[in-house]
Amino acid sequence: MNIPVLTIDGPSGAGKGTVSRAVAKKLGWHYLDSGSIYRSLAISALDKQIDLQDIAKITLLAEKMHLAFECDDVLIVSLDGVNITHRLATEETGAAASTIAAYPEVRAVLLQKQKDFRRFPGLVADGRDMGTVVFADAPYKVFLTASALERGKRRFKQLKEKGIDANLDKITHEIELRDRRDRERKAAPLIPAVDAFYLDSSDLSIDEVINQVIILTE
């Protein structure tokens, strides 16, 4: 398939979403936020009060889930016809998504849903295993990261700006736990693709990161 793909993988809070959306807009390519797919499934499971350890029920839910993405400057996600965008970034959703994303059965069901986003003129795919599993043949790959403390500070600032009470130490600790869980899971662990460009954004502005990624595709 000759449709170009740029994968941007990395841990939570590294800036993948902001960078990926901006790069997709500049290139005029489609955009896939794979994390939102898992977070949407987590929201569906939580709403239906399904035990997150019940792999069979979670997998069946993934098969039946209907998602719609709209993306310009911001991403709008609808689950079964309901806009759930405002719920995607909550800590509860993130923790639940990290749990169910570790199940090989769930990842297998959602794999094709992600592959279907590959359309002309190109795709920017944001996630954790885009360059290693979903689009392993992608010609452009980036592994975007930042220190756990820096990612914690970014998350803390986001929550404060939304008027949500937050604790920096707790947020940073949760990020470290999620990183460990994502690295150690058996199904598609969070690791850089061997041919990925490693980019640490800890001391870089968003514009600097975007420019470096754009240069990679030229």
pLDDT at 119 exceeding the cut of 90: yes
Cis peptide leading into residue 121 (ω within 30°): yes
**Binning pLDDT at 50, 70 and 90, where does residue 213 land?**
very high
> What pLDDT band is residue 121 in, cutting at 50, 70 and 90?
very high
Mean pLDDT on 44-71: 94
**Rounded average pLDDT over 90-113:** 91
Number of domains in the chain: 1
Instruction: Tell me the mean pLDDT in the region 79-107.
Output: 91
Which amino acids are annotated as binding site for ATP, given as ranges? 10-18
Residue 173 in this model has a pLDDT that exceeds 80: yes
Domain coverage including residue 99: 5-217
Give dist(CA 15, CA 23) in Å, integer: 12
Backbone torsions φ then ψ of 104, nearest 5 degrees: -55, -35
CATH number at residue 9: 3.40.50.300
pLDDT above 90 (res 61): yes
- Annotated binding site, which residues? 10-18
**Rounded to whole angstroms, how far apart are CA atoms 208 and 199?**
11
H-helix or E-strand containing 142?
strand 140-145
How many Å apart are CA 33 and CA 185, to the nearest integer? 20
Provide the pLDDT confidence category of residue 1 given band limits of 50, 70 and 90: low
As a whole number, mean pLDDT of residues 185-197 equals 87
Residue-wise pLDDT for 87-96, tens only, equals 998 889 988 9
Mean pLDDT of the chain: 92
Alpha-carbon span 179 to 128, nearest angstrom: 11
State the average pLDDT over residues 164-168: 89
pTM: 0.82
pLDDT digits (tens, 9 = 90+) for 138-163: 999 999 999 999 999 988 988 888 78
- Edge-to-edge, what's the strand order for the sheet holding 67-71? 67-71, 75-79, 82-83
Query: Is it the case that residue 186 has pLDDT exceeding 80?
Result: no
Statement: residue 41 has pLDDT above 90:
yes
Spatial separation of the C-alpha atoms in residues 143 and 155, rounded to whole Å: 19
